[in-house]
Amino acid sequence: MSLPNSTDHWQQVVHLALGRAEYARTHELQRLLHSMRCRGEIGDTVITVEHDPVFTIGRSGSRSNIRISEEELQSEGIPVYDIERGGDITYHGPGQLVVYPIIDLRSYGRDIKKYINRLEQAMIGLLTEFSLHAVRRAGLPGVWIDDRKIASIGVSVRHWVTEHGLALNISVNSDHFAMINPCGMSIEMISLCDLVAPAPGMAEVEGRLLKHMEAVFDWNIALGDPEYYWERLNG
C-alpha cells in the first residue's frame, strides 16, 4: 500500500478505524503519525478507537484525583499513563468512542480554541440527532447535558500538528469513572445509553460523528488501512 498523497487538498482526510486497541500501543501509533504529518509524509488523518480500561493524566493533572489505592488499581487491572495532552485525569474504556485527529492547524487558521470548538460542535450536532440538548461550558472543554458531562476533550499541539482529541461516552462502565475525579472535578459522567433507549451501537455513533466532523471541518473523509501503519510501527 502506498502512503496517502500528501499533496491532496487539506480537506481530504484519511480515517483509520482501529476498533478495540490497547492504549499504550495506540499512543505510539499517534506519535508515529504525528511525526509523519510534521514531515509532510501523510495528509490529515483521524483515528477512531475503543480502548481497554485505562486512566490518563494530562499536563495539568495529578494522581491525587485517583480515588482508589494503588492496590485497588492493580486489582482492577487499570493502568495509569501520564501523557502530553492538556487537562487533568480521564478514563477510557469499552463503550467509549475515542477520536484522535492528526491534523495540521496551519491549514485551519492556527487557532487552537477554534479547533476545540469544532470538536465540541461535531459532538453537539450528533447528540442533537438523538433529541438531546448538549452544551459547552466556558473554560471546561467537552460537552455537557445539564450538569453532567458526556464527552471530554484533551489535545496536544506540537509544530501546529494535533494529537489526542475527544472521548464520547456511549455505554461506559460508570464504576470506573467513580474511581477518579474526572477532569479533576467532582462531576457526574454519563453515557448516551443513560439518555436514549435503545442506545445506538458504537459503529452507528462513529459513522454519525464522522459525518458531523466532515461538516464542521469541511472534510472529505476516506477510509484508510491501519495495518500499513501498525507494520511501520513494528519496524
34: amino acid identity, one letter: H
Backbone phi and psi for residue 3, each to the nearest 5 degrees, phi listed first: -70, 150
What is the pTM for the complete model shown? 0.93
pLDDT at position 28: 97
The answer to whether position 23 is within a domain reads: yes
Supply the CATH number for residue 101's domain.
Answer: 3.30.930.10
pLDDT at position 184: 84
Model pLDDT for residues 18-27, shown as the tens digit of each residue:
999 999 999 9
pLDDT at position 5: 41
Q: Which residues pair with 50 in a beta bridge?
A: 20
Angle value at C-alpha 18, between 16 and 21, nearest 5 degrees:
150
pLDDT at position 60: 84
The answer to whether position 158 is within a domain reads: yes
pLDDT at position 161: 98
pLDDT at position 149: 97
The answer to whether position 163 is within a domain reads: yes
pLDDT at position 2: 37
Domain count, the chain: 1
Q: What is the mean pLDDT of each run of 10 residues along the chain (235 residues)?
A: 43 95 96 97 97 93 90 92 91 97 96 97 98 94 95 96 98 94 89 94 97 96 96 86
The answer to whether position 4 is within a domain reads: no
The answer to whether position 97 is within a domain reads: yes
CA 106, CA 57: separation in Å to the nearest integer? 27
The answer to whether position 6 is within a domain reads: no
- Structural domain span for residue 181: 12-234
The answer to whether position 7 is within a domain reads: no
**Interstrand relation of 161-169 and 140-145 (parallel, antiparallel or unpaired):** unpaired
Residue whose grid cell is 472534510: 219
Residues marked active site are found at 183
The answer to whether position 5 is within a domain reads: no
Task: Please choose, from the candidates 50, 37, 22, the residue with its C-alpha nearest in 3D space to the C-alpha of residue 101.
Answer: 37
Q: For the sheet with 80-82, list strands across it.
A: 80-82, 54-57, 89-92
